[in-house]
Amino acid sequence: MTGREDLRAAFSEERAAIMPYLTAGYPTLDGAREVGEAYIAAGADVVEIGVPFSDPLADGPTIQGTTTQALRNGANVDYCLDLASGLSRRVPVVFLVYYNSIFARGAGRFFADAAEAGISGLVVPDLPVDEAAKMSEVSLERGVAICPLAAPTTTEARLATIGAVTSKAGFVYCVSVSGVTGAREALPPGAVALLRRVRSAVEAPVALGFGIGSEAAAVEAAAEADGVIIGSKLMQLVGEGGPEKAGEWLRGVREAVVGVPRPDAWART
Amino acid sequence: MQQKTETGYFGAFGGRYVPETLMHALEELEEAYERYRADPEFVEELDGLARDFVGRPTPLMFAQRLTQKWGGANVYFKREDLAHTGAHKINNTLGQILLADRMGKDRIIAETGAGQHGVATATVAALYGKQCVVYMGEEDTRRQRLNVVRMQLLGAEVVPVTSGSKTLKDAVNEAIRDWVTNVDDTHYIIGSVVGPSPYPRIVRDFQTVIGREIDVQARERFGREPDAVLACVGAGSNAIGAFHPFVGREDVRLVGVEAAGRGLQSGEHGASLAAGKLGVLHGALCYVLQSEDGQITEAHSISAGLDYPAVGPEHSFLRDEAIAEYASVTDEEALEAFTLCSRAEGIIPALETAHAISYAEKVARELGPGRNLVVNLSGRGDKDVETASEALRVDG
Question: Residue A253 domain-assigned?
Answer: yes
Q: What is the pLDDT of residue A267?
A: 62
**Alpha-carbon distance A209 to B8, whole Å?**
29
**Alpha-carbon distance B90 to B121, whole Å?**
7
Question: Residue A19 domain-assigned?
Answer: yes
DSSP A122-166: EE-TT--HHHHGGGHHHHHHHT-EE--EE-TT--HHHHHHHHHHT
Q: What is the pLDDT of residue B87?
A: 97
Catalytic residue among A45, A48, A113, A226: A48
Task: Read off φ and ψ for residue B64, nearest 5 degrees.
Answer: -65, -45
Amino acid at B390: E
CA B221 to the chain's CA centroid: 26
Q: What is the pLDDT of residue A167?
A: 84
Nearest residue in chain B measured CA to CA from A173: B20
Among candidates A55, A175, A179 on the partner chain, residue whose Cβ is nearest the Cβ of B296 = A55
**Alpha-carbon distance B193 to B241, whole Å?**
9
Is B183 within 8 Å of A178 when comparing Cβ atoms? yes
Name the CA radius of gyration of chain B, rounded: 19
Question: Residue A264 domain-assigned?
Answer: no
**Alpha-carbon distance B57 to A89, whole Å?**
67
**Alpha-carbon distance B307 to B299, whole Å?**
5
Indicate whether B266 pLDDT > 50: yes
Give the pairing of strands B284-288 and B277-281.
antiparallel
CATH number at residue A86: 3.20.20.70
User: Is residue B265 within 8 angstroms of chain A, CB to CB?
Assistant: no
Indicate whether B225 pLDDT > 80: yes
Indicate whether A103 pLDDT > 80: yes
Three-state DSSP class for residue B110 = strand
Contact B169, B296 (CB under 8 A): yes
A54 torsion bin: left (phi>0), alpha (psi -120 to 50), beta (else): alpha
Banded pLDDT at A263 (limits 50, 70, 90)? confident
Could you report the per-residue pLDDT of B56-79, keeping only the tens digit for each? 999 999 999 999 999 999 999 999
Indicate whether B2 pLDDT > 80: no
Question: CA triplet B54, B60, B61: central angle to 5 degrees?
Answer: 120
Among candidates B17, B21, B163 on the partner chain, residue whose Cβ is nearest the Cβ of A175 = B21
Give the pairing of strands A119-123 and A93-96.
parallel
Beta bridge partners of A73: none
Question: Residue A20 domain-assigned?
Answer: yes
DSSP A79-132: HHHHHHHTTTTTS-EEEE--HHHHHHH-HHHHHHHHHHTTEEEEE-TT--HHHH
Contact B214, B229 (CB under 8 A): yes
Indicate whether B4 pLDDT > 80: no
**Alpha-carbon distance B384 to A87, whole Å?**
54
Q: What is the pLDDT of residue B392?
A: 86
C-alpha closest to that of A22 among A254, A234, A228? A234
Q: With a CB-CB cutoff of 8 Å, which residues 13-32 of chain B face chain A?
A: 15-25, 27
On average, the pLDDT of chain B sits at 95
Question: Residue A268 domain-assigned?
Answer: no
Question: Residue A269 domain-assigned?
Answer: no
Nearest residue in chain B measured CA to CA from A153: B21
Our answer to whether residue A59 is catalytic in this structure is: yes
User: Is residue B294 within 8 angstroms of chain A, CB to CB?
Assistant: yes
**Alpha-carbon distance B314 to B287, whole Å?**
10
Contact B238, B80 (CB under 8 A): yes
ipTM field:
0.95
Indicate whether A160 pLDDT > 50: yes
Amino acid at A4: R
- Mean pLDDT value across residues B121-131: 98
C-alpha closest to that of B69 among B379, B337, B391? B337
Indicate whether A48 pLDDT > 70: yes
C-alpha closest to that of B142 among B170, B115, B123? B115
Q: What is the pLDDT of residue B5?
A: 47
Is A103 within 8 Å of B279 when comparing Cβ atoms? yes
Is B288 within 8 Å of A149 when comparing Cβ atoms? no
Identify from B9, B18, B21, B27 which residue to disrupt to test chain A contact, counting A C-beta atoms within 10 A and taking the largest count.
B21
- Mean pLDDT value across residues A203-220: 94
Q: What is the pLDDT of residue B394?
A: 59
Could you tell me which residues come within 8 angstroms of residue B35 by beta carbon, excluding any fewer than 6 positions away? none
Indicate whether A268 pLDDT > 80: no
% of chain B exceeding 90 in pLDDT: 91
Among candidates A53, A155, A180 on the partner chain, residue whose Cβ is nearest the Cβ of B295 = A53
Helices B385-395 and B331-345: crossing angle in degrees, nearest 10, is: 110
- Mean pLDDT value across residues B185-204: 98
Amino acid at A28: T
**Alpha-carbon distance B362 to B353, whole Å?**
15
- Mean pLDDT value across residues B132-137: 97
- Largest Cα–Cα distance in chain A? 46
Catalytic residue among A6, A34, A59, A224: A59
Beta bridge partners of B187: B108
Q: What is the pLDDT of residue A259?
A: 87
DSSP B170-219: HHHHHHHHHHHHSTTTEEE---SS-SSTTHHHHHHHHHTHHHHHHHHHHH
Q: Determine the structural domain holding residue A86 and report its residue range.
A: 3-257
Which of residues A12 and B58 earns the better pLDDT score? B58
- What sign for the dihedral angle of Cα A254, A255, A256, A257? positive
Q: Which residues of B are catalytic?
A: 89, 111, 378
Q: Among A85-94, B159-168, B204-213, where is mean pLDDT lowest?
A: B159-168
Q: What is the pLDDT of residue A72?
A: 97
C-alpha closest to that of A101 among A33, A47, A52, A29? A52
Question: Residue A267 domain-assigned?
Answer: no
Among candidates A64, A158, A179 on the partner chain, residue whose Cβ is nearest the Cβ of B23 = A158
Question: CA triplet A61, A66, A69: central angle to 5 degrees?
Answer: 120
Q: What is the pLDDT of residue B44?
A: 98
**CA neighbours within 13 Å on the CB side: how many for A221?**
34
- Number of domain units in chain A: 1
Stated pTM of the model: 0.96
Could you report the per-residue pLDDT of A162-179, keeping only the tens digit for each? 999 888 889 999 999 999
**Alpha-carbon distance B47 to B43, whole Å?**
6
Q: Is B346 exposed, middle or buried (0-12, 13-18, 19+ CB in 10 A)?
A: exposed
Question: Residue A64 domain-assigned?
Answer: yes
Could you report the per-residue pLDDT of B339-375, keeping only the tens digit for each? 999 999 999 999 999 999 999 999 999 999 999 999 9
C-alpha closest to that of A236 among A250, A222, A253, A226? A250
